Structure formats: structure tokens, C-alpha cells
């Protein structure tokens, strides 16, 4: 009896367990059916929405098409831009149509992206619900490693979502930068075409003909700068020449009314002058030597200045002859009226010596030649009279100190007295001979 009673109990328990398993399967199937019905309803609603959107887009397309057809023919005949690029551009209506088609494509892309975003958000919600359910179901179990793996997966999913958002932002920024670049390129092309067109119009307006050579503005500006610098240099040279000319004119005017009172003294006379036993010269021997050195230095300076002046006069003469030849070739030359009275003044102004000066120079050269034949080196000493001063003086009185002036005057007086004494002695010697 016990064996018989235990067998139905076991069967009953097996049936109960199978019934629980079937009940769980039924519940899972019912939940899956509910989920599928919800998905079906969502898909039906999306289908209806897409149908409505397609109908709206179709209606909008027909309206735009009718509106464009109502505009009439293309505006290509009016807006015919056969510019410097050499190609005819699209008409305004065609551009408008293209832009509208691009806008439609972009709107459709944005709608698709929004729909995808909604789908991804719903998938994320379902995934999170599933993860929360799994976590609740596995809380009673001792599978700690599996919970850790689920947490890691959840963190990875969150990181992936954040990275995806950053990537989308970067793509949008890159697209915006590309759009700005295209706008800048189009603006640059427009400005370049405008500059070329304006340059062409300016050249046409300035030249006034079809056969013209393009003007290189940079070369013209560089040449203008070079010519301005050259003009400044010429002006500076002109001012320098004017100052030197006024200086020479003043010197000539100062020396024009002065008489020439110079004499040639040999080395022996200079040595006698330096070795004179007068107390003044013995006391001022160093001053006399410094005077002689200063006189020699001034003489060298004057000779250098004279050489420079002669060179400048030669250059000016060459320039004048060139100008005369140019004027004669042009036919605008007029023969100058000869004026004998101004000959000497012109020669002095031009730095050339007068006839009297030439005679005096020849006399000095003759005396120097005689002195050189006698074995003495001639030296020119200027004798200043009380009334007139020499025009060929080597050192002006303004360049000397008052002590040197006194020294020179005393030396000249002593030389004059010595010459007078020698002449008196000669006369005294000659008078007894005559008496005899």
C-alpha cells in the first residue's frame, strides 16, 4: 500500500513542476507577444507617418513645379553673364531649383537622422530595462563576476554614447568649416574677377583703344621712387654747388679791388731772416718756425683746392659744350654777344686766371727757374703793403693770431731796413769811385 501511495504523489509533484514550467513559458510567451504587438503598433504608426510625409512632399513638389512653370521661360537670356571666365553661368531659376532640391535632400537626411536617433534612444531604453531586469533577477544568485561584467558593459555603452555624441559634434563643426571655406573661396573668386574687370576697364579708359600694352604698375612705382631719390640727390648737389659758387664769388669780389704786391725771396734770404740776431726773432724762434709750417700747410691746402677747382671747371666746361651741342642740334642756339669788359670778371668767376695774374705767375715761374739754376729752392713770401693787399696771398689775416701778425710785420720791417742799409752802402761805395 505504501508503494502504491508514493507513486501517485511523485507523479503529482512531477505534474505540478511541469505545470509551473509551462506557466513560466506561457508568461514569457505572453510578454513576448505583448512586446511584438507594441512593436507592430509602433511600426504601423511610423508607416502612417511616413505615408503622410510622402504625401506632403509630393504635394509640395507639385506646387513648386507648377509655380516654376508659371514663371515662364528661363532667365538665361536676361541674366547672361559671359564674363571674363569665358563660360555662361546658370540661370536664376535653375539655381533656385537646385537649392530647393538640396534643401529637400538635407531635410530628408535630417528627418532620417532624427528617426535613427529616436530608434537608438528606444533601443537604449530597452537595453537598460533588460539590464535592470537581469540585475534584479541575479541579485539572489552568487554570480558576482557576471554582475561585474554587466557593470563593465554598461560603462562601455555609456562611453560609446558619449564618444558618438562628440563625434557627431565634430562632424557638424567640420561641415560648418567646409561651408565657410566654400563661401570664402566664392567671395575670393568674385573679388578677383571684379579686380580683373576693373583693371581691364581702367586700361581701356586710359589707353582709349584696343591695341594697348598692359601697364605694369609696380614697375612704374619703382621707377618713380628711383627718380625721386635721384632728384633729391641732384638737389643736394645743386645746393652744394650753389654754396661753393657763392663762396668763390665772395672771395673774387674781396680780392678784385686789391693790388698784387708780392715778391720772390730765395732760401738764403729766408735763412738770413730766420738767423737774424734781433732780440725779437731770437725770443720768438719757435713762433717763426710754426709760422713757416703753417704757411706751407696753407700753401698745400690752397694748391689742392686750386686743383679741385680746375677739375670742376673742366667738368663744367664739358657740360656746357655738351649743352651747346644739344641746343645747336635742336636749332634753339643763339650766338652769345661778346663783351670784352666782362672777360676778366668771367674768367675770375669761372676760376680761370686773368692776363695780369698769368703774367705775374710767369714772372714767378721765371724767378723760380733762375733760383733753381743757382741751386736754391725758391719760396714765395707775401709782402703786404700798408695800402694794398695781395690777391694771391697764401694765408689771410683772419686766419692768423695777432702775435703772428706782429711778428710778420716786424720781420718785414727789418728786411726793408736791411735792404735800405745795403743800398745806402752801395751808393756810398759807388760815390767815391765817381768822385775819383
pLDDT reading at 222 higher than 70: yes
pLDDT reading at 184 higher than 90: yes
Rounded Cα gap, residues 381 and 273, in angstroms: 12
Comparing 351 with 160, which gets the higher pLDDT?
A: 160
pLDDT reading at 49 higher than 80: yes
Rounded mean pLDDT, 162-181: 91
Q: For position 137, what pLDDT does the model report?
A: 76
Q: Which residues, 6 or more positions from 45, have their beta carbon under 8 angstroms from its beta carbon?
A: none
Rounded Cα gap, residues 219 and 216, in angstroms: 5
Rounded Cα gap, residues 271 and 378, in angstroms: 12
Nearest to 274 by CA among 292, 256, 262, 258: 292
Rounded Cα gap, residues 392 and 254, in angstroms: 12
Rounded mean pLDDT, 13-18: 86
Question: Is the pTM higher than 0.75?
Answer: no
3-class SS at 262? strand
Whether the Cβ atoms of residue 313 and residue 352 lie closer than 8 Å to each other: yes
Rounded Cα gap, residues 160 and 168, in angstroms: 12
Placement of cell 508514493 in the chain: 6
Neighbours of 14 (CB within 10 A): 10
Indicate the average pLDDT of the chain.
70
pLDDT in tens, 303-324: 888 887 888 788 778 877 777 7
- The phi, psi pair for 381, rounded to 5°, reads -120, 135
pLDDT reading at 28 higher than 80: yes
pLDDT reading at 387 higher than 60: no
pLDDT in tens, 228-260: 988 998 898 888 888 888 888 887 787 775 544
Which run of H or of E encompasses 382? strand 379-382
The conformation of residue 396, written as its DSSP 8-state character, comes to -
Rounded Cα gap, residues 62 and 60, in angstroms: 5
Q: For position 183, what pLDDT does the model report?
A: 92
Rounded Cα gap, residues 30 and 91, in angstroms: 63
Rounded mean pLDDT, 196-201: 80
Beta-carbon-side half-sphere exposure of residue 431 (alpha carbons within 13 Å):
6
Grid cell listed for 409:
710785420
pLDDT in tens, 84-95: 444 444 577 788
Q: Which residues, 6 or more positions from 68, have their beta carbon under 8 angstroms from its beta carbon?
A: 93, 97
Nearest to 262 by CA among 385, 367, 377: 385
pLDDT reading at 20 higher than 50: yes
Nearest to 384 by CA among 409, 357, 351, 417: 409
pLDDT in tens, 52-72: 888 888 888 888 888 877 775
Residue 48 — very low, low, confident or very high, per pLDDT cuts 50/70/90?
confident
Q: Among residues of the chain, what percentage have pLDDT more than 90?
A: 6
Neighbours of 109 (CB within 10 A): 10
Q: For position 353, what pLDDT does the model report?
A: 41
Residue 425 — very low, low, confident or very high, per pLDDT cuts 50/70/90?
low
pLDDT in tens, 365-382: 444 434 433 444 333 333
Q: How far apart are the first and last CA of the chain?
A: 219
CA distances from 18 to 7, 11, 14, 24 (A): 16, 10, 6, 10
Comparing 254 with 168, which gets the higher pLDDT?
A: 168
Amino acid at each position: 500500500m505504501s508503494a502504491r501511495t508514493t507513486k501517485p504523489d511523485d507523479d503529482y509533484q512531477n505534474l505540478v513542476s511541469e505545470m509551473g514550467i509551462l506557466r513560466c513559458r506561457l508568461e514569457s510567451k505572453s510578454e513576448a507577444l505583448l512586446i511584438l504587438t507594441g512593436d507592430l503598433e509602433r511600426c504601423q504608426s511610423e508607416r502612417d507617418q511616413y505615408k503622410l510625409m510622402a504625401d506632403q512632399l509630393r504635394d509640395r513638389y507639385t506646387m513648386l513645379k507648377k509655380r516654376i512653370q508659371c514663371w515662364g521661360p528661363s532667365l538665361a537670356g536676361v541674366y547672361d553673364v559671359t564674363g571674363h571666365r569665358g563660360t555662361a553661368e546658370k540661370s536664376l531659376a535653375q539655381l533656385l531649383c537646385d537649392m530647393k532640391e538640396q534643401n529637400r535632400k538635407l531635410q530628408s537626411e535630417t528627418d532620417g537622422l532624427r528617426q535613427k536617433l529616436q530608434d537608438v534612444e528606444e533601443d537604449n531604453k530597452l537595453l537598460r530595462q533588460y539590464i535592470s531586469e537581469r540585475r534584479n533577477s541575479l541579485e539572489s544568485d552568487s554570480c558576482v563576476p557576471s554582475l561585474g561584467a554587466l557593470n563593465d558593459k554598461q560603462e562601455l555603452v555609456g562611453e560609446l554614447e558619449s564618444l558618438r555624441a562628440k563625434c557627431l559634434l565634430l562632424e557638424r563643426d567640420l561641415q560648418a568649416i567646409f561651408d565657410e571655406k566654400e563661401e570664402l573661396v566664392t567671395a575670393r573668386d568674385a573679388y578677383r574677377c571684379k579686380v580683373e574687370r576693373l583693371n581691364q576697364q581702367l586700361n581701356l579708359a586710359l589707353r582709349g583703344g584696343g591695341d594697348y600694352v598692359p601697364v605694369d604698375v609696380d614697375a612704374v612705382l619703382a621707377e618713380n621712387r628711383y627718380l625721386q631719390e635721384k632728384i633729391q640727390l641732384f638737389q643736394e648737389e645743386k645746393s652744394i654747388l650753389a654754396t661753393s659758387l657763392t663762396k668763390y664769388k665772395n672771395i673774387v669780389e674781396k680780392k678784385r679791388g686789391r693790388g698784387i704786391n708780392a715778391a720772390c725771396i730765395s732760401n738764403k734770404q729766408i735763412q738770413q731772416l730766420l738767423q737774424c740776431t734781433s732780440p725779437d726773432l731770437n725770443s720768438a724762434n719757435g713762433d717763426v718756425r710754426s709760422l713757416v709750417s703753417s704757411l706751407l700747410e696753407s700753401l698745400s691746402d690752397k694748391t689742392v683746392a686750386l686743383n679741385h677747382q680746375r677739375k670742376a671747371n673742366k667738368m663744367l666746361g664739358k657740360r656746357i659744350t655738351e649743352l651747346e651741342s644739344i641746343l645747336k642740334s635742336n636749332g634753339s642756339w643763339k650766338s652769345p654777344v661778346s663783351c670784352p669788359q666782362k672777360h676778366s670778371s668771367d674768367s675770375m668767376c669761372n676760376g680761370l686766371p686773368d692776363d695780369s695774374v698769368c703774367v705775374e705767375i710767369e714772372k714767378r715761374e721765371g724767378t723760380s727757374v733762375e733760383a733753381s739754376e743757382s741751386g736754391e729752392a725758391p719760396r714765395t713770401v707775401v709782402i703786404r703793403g700798408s695800402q694794398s693787399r695781395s690777391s694771391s696771398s697764401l694765408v689771410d689775416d683772419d686766419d692768423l693770431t695777432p702775435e703772428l701778425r706782429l711778428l710778420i710785420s716786424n720781420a718785414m720791417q727789418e728786411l726793408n731796413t736791411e735792404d735800405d742799409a745795403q743800398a745806402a752802402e752801395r751808393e756810398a761805395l759807388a760815390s767815391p769811385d765817381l768822385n775819383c
